[in-house]
Structure 1
Amino acid sequence: MRRFKIFLGAVFAVAITIICAVPTFALNFNGSSSAAGDGSSTTNSKGGYAIPDMLANNSNRAVGYRFTVIDNKGNGINGSKDVYRHATQSKDRKNYLTYYKPNAKYPKTYIRGNYSWLSVSTSNGYSGCWWDKDLGLALPEVTTQIEGWCNDSNVSKLLSKLWSISISTLESSRWAVLIEPIFPVKIQGTYHSLTVTEIAFYGSTKFGIASNGNISSNSNSWGFIANYTNRHLPNSLRLKAAYVGIPAAANTNVRITFESIIKNGYGAAILYGSNLSRPAQYYLDVNGILNDDMVYDLKDCGTCDVYVNGKLVANDVTDYYQKVDAGSSYKITDVKPKSHLDYNGASWRGDAIEGKVTKNIAVCPDFTTKRFYLDVNGVLDGEQEVTLDGWCTFDIYLDGRLYKEKVSDFYEKIKYGTAYTITNIRPAEGKTFFGAVTDLAPYPSSKHSFPRYPSGLSGTMGLDNQYIFLGLETDKPLEAVLIESNAPYREETYVITSGFIVNPSGRDYTPDKDLKARLEIITPSEIIYSEEKSVIVPKKDKNLCYFKWRVPKDIGGKVSARLTVISDGKDIFTDGKSYNTVPYTYLTTPDTSYEAAAPAGFSKAYPPGETEGYATWWEYVYTDTGFEKRTYGIGIDGSPDALYPMRGADNKISSGRGFYMNIAANFTAVSGRNIALYNSYTDVQYITALFPEFGYAEVQNKCKTLIKNTLNGFFEFPDNFGYGRQHFIPLSYPDGNYVIQLIKTDMWTPAGAVTAKENSKPLKISGSVYDEYYIGR
């Protein structure tokens, strides 16, 4: 456009050069000051009147056309646009674009309605004017060809470049295109480019609206050109049908009045005129109200059907926004809300759900999110109850925000999709909260009927009521239970006394609760042992506690034990039990005699069966993650012990000789169990050796109690009547393997005493001591 204006400026300069020698004048004429006259007089003339040769040869030749987009009332849309034929300028060598023209370009529809007061001035400016070639067009010269030229391709270019609209916009807006040919005519000595209606308007202001221009041979009078202006040019293009209040124009063979030209469809054509007769259209728009908020479609709400004039035009749609003819009936029906929503009818914030289209219609179906009950109840001492008064208080959080604080009952409708949490549960004094009950089957009720599986303490509201049951119970006292001993306590040894602390309540006793257990060992005359330990116990469970203590000498064969639970510094439960004791007995065999033969009835005994010795137990410990149940185990090493001849080698020995032993009594782990803690067991404290010559009998004079060497920790034979820590094999014992059995016991654990029976490695008896000194016996 900028380059085009520069080009026009150059043309304009040339045009000025050509015509500057001819006097030209701008005209001003006003409909309100029309002078009467018949057109033959020269009184109102200030120069000559003429029709150029191009019109004299063919009165249908136009130098351009005025295009106006109009609505169904004839109003122009964004002004009129004058487009001139560049080919006509080239052919006639005349720049019709720079002829004088009205400064304001009015369409016929406007002049027709306002001619009585309209004021017009002319100049040789070209604002609002274009060459057709610069628009990519080639307008027809002959006016009868213009309607055929107006195909969709040409009109689309015209609308796009001059109005920035499309044909579809033209149609949907009920607009048409008014076309008026532009002709050159000399008026009062100055050539103008004017439409038929503009020429008639000028004539009406000079000679009267009722004049037909008359006929005159005087070129200074209007009658000189009236046969063209009032007959031929009006016929050049005519409305064949009435539009926007303008009557159709019939072909005329005579001059017609200026009024007839202005008021009727002369000098004009309508393109896409059917648009003007289409009914008005308004938008039918389906929006929504969701929880009092406007939404502009139903995708989050549901679907609906839309009927227009009784016909289904949209089925199960989530949005509708279409133009509908004025006067049409409409109905929004079959509204199907989403499963979590309620449909409440049309909102007052929009139009009715059905009716007539007389304006833009916006129907707003109203939806609200469904609400369901969130009900907090309780299982109290095993009974279902609907209120927790006197049992506890709790807080309710909805969507992460505190909703109710320190309440003992809650029963309210909550919106679908809301996240809820029951927290900060505060049991009343003497009550314990043991968690959410998620299965009511163990707690049947004749008073209430709830779903078997309630919700947990947190969740999201779904499409049903949510029931929560808090489990609470009245605190039950802790108990202590002493464990029976599997062996008597041996005097002068260490033993372990064990018991369980039983917690029947729903409260955890963690290290910070300062729970303790005290064990007292009592003889008829005194308390010989007393110790307190901190203990932990999980809810509805028990935990092991144990005490290691030394049994004094000479306590009479029995002691009493008391295990007491201490909470908050108060004794709350005591269990008592009696335990047998035995003295530390040293068993021995008589001095070896060297009989010539074995005793009567003697038969060689075979080694008895062995038994493993181990114990396992469990106890709770408290870690960073809470209570942890651990199992422990420990056993007596079952590796066979060696016997060492006082003389000889390779385990060979002669009968009548002695042997010694060093027993370590080592410990061993138990597969699959944790290694026992050092304070949870004792050493093996008592070992008895059984001999084959006595038939492995465990009685006095037939077995020996080993003595623990305090220097090296090994168990050894007691001194044998001054012959050292050895045992002599009877002289009469037959050749072959000689095996003793060791009973290792008094290794105490929380599970009781551990005893193992182990057979030694064999000695090989070959001959007797006599054979060492006499050959050939």
Structure 2
Amino acid sequence: MKRVTAFLLCLMLIIFSVPISVFAEGDGNFDGGGGGMGNGSSQNFWNPRNDGVRITVIRCRDQMPVTTPIDFSNKNQNNIKIHFGKKSKIQYRNGSSLQAYTSVYNYYIPSQPMPRIIGSSSYTINIEATKKYFCSEYALKLIASLTGMNYENLISGDYKILIEPIAYMTFQGVYMAMTAHEAALYDEKLGGGLRAKMVSLSHKNLPLALFLQTSDLGFAAWSGSSNQKVSNTQIKAYLGLGVIRFSEADKGVDIDSNSYEYRCDTDVITSITVNTDRRRTPDNPVSVTFRVNGQNYTVSNIYIPEGESQKVWFKWHTPKTPQTLNIDVSISGASANKANITAQIVDLKENTPPNPTANDKNSSFKTSSIPSKAPKTSATWGKWDCYWEPKWEWQANWSWVSTGKNTGYWVDNGHWVDRGDWKYKWISYYAYLSANMNLQPDAKVPTAYSKTMKSGYGINLNVNSNLSSNAPSSSITGAQNAISYYPEFNYKTYNRVLEMITAGYSSSFQLRKNKYSTYNQRVHFTPIWYPDGIYSVYAEVIDVWTPEGMLSVNLNDYVNIKGSLYDDWHIGPQF
């Protein structure tokens, strides 16, 4: 008669849902407790070692099960008369009701036995052994095989494995299988009937066999006692679950890098492109470390949507001497092939023009066109940012309040749960380089008028540059070098490297002091033989660095040559 009663009660169950939590990565997020079992009876008892686990693969992105739960047990469980199907704590949380089944109970006996899951008065569970077992390659490959998942996908970091302890018990003379969550729901339906007969198992050792060490997926870790009886509400909200997570098994990051040429003693920006085939959020950020010349530069908290990419860069200062440097690039937070960047550090040498003399001649000189190198005066780039967009939903948690024999009422002890998700936004940066050059006769030229002067005298050269950008200083540099070329050399062979007068985003440059100048002026002397006409100087402003490479601008200006300095000389008798 007791067996019939239990069976009918099982068939009448209609229960509401409850929360879960999980972790995944060859890293177990669970702990366990329990204690003495108390006294049983011939109709209500549990034998130590008669336990198992329910395993469900959960997708991290939306906390949804992607496999039908599978049950593991070390013992033959062919005599199960009543079970509650294959539902996980997640499914009960999402609204599935408790239903009793008398059909064949399906389970799997692993060839490598599991550690004991539920403790007893004579055995304290070894939670480290449980973690080691379920985080092992054997267990994970077995789970992948039984659930039909690809093993590499399972450990990719996109999924977590939910583990729930199962007790195989005899209750009211009927041999049953149930998880801790199902035991709590069942007890509520019976008005406390399960707790009254099996409290040490159903409301202590079973739920306390596994619980979270750290909160996850919107649910809190258990911070209560690990060896005292607990309530149905506590079981549904906190207990009877563990999680395996796979953050270290991350994959799908590719690094694109290039070779660079830099000038000595210069601030530069070095960048790579990081591509990912799965999304990166504050839950699984990527960091990139650049190692150059014995120093590490780490860029942390890199967030990228699935299938997207972005530049990752760092700012550094090159050595003062020419050399070849290898920049090693490594990823943390995801597996990826290491990259190696070759940086050629070259000297910006001035090939100083020879000192002009009064006897210089060049009757075959022909003017050349001003060089027309392609400038790069602008760059745009950006990076992804990630923010949490909340989505609050009410999480029901119904509990039965008994007011007497076979009377009572249900109370919803639920709470609001944030089931939001990470969203992305693109932060865009720009940099625009502008510059101007002013060519004028030197102040010591006695017969100069505006931009007209005689050949053989000196000219002054002033370059001003400006970098306009919305990027932080760690992403850009101002112009750091300027080089000038001259028409008498057909803009080849000889050049003058200008001296930086003002550094920064608004930088300025002038000719260096000429050692051949009587007055130590910042001049370049035009050749006395230069023909009348336009004398144009060409200059390049360089070493403006961004994550998109170097910006540069080409400039030119002129003076008008009319006559030579011989025209200013007069030789005559002295009176």
Q: TM-score, normalised by structure 1?
A: 0.36
**Which structure has the greater CA radius of gyration?**
1
Answer 1 or 2: higher relative contact order, Cα 8 Å, separation at least 6.
Answer: 2
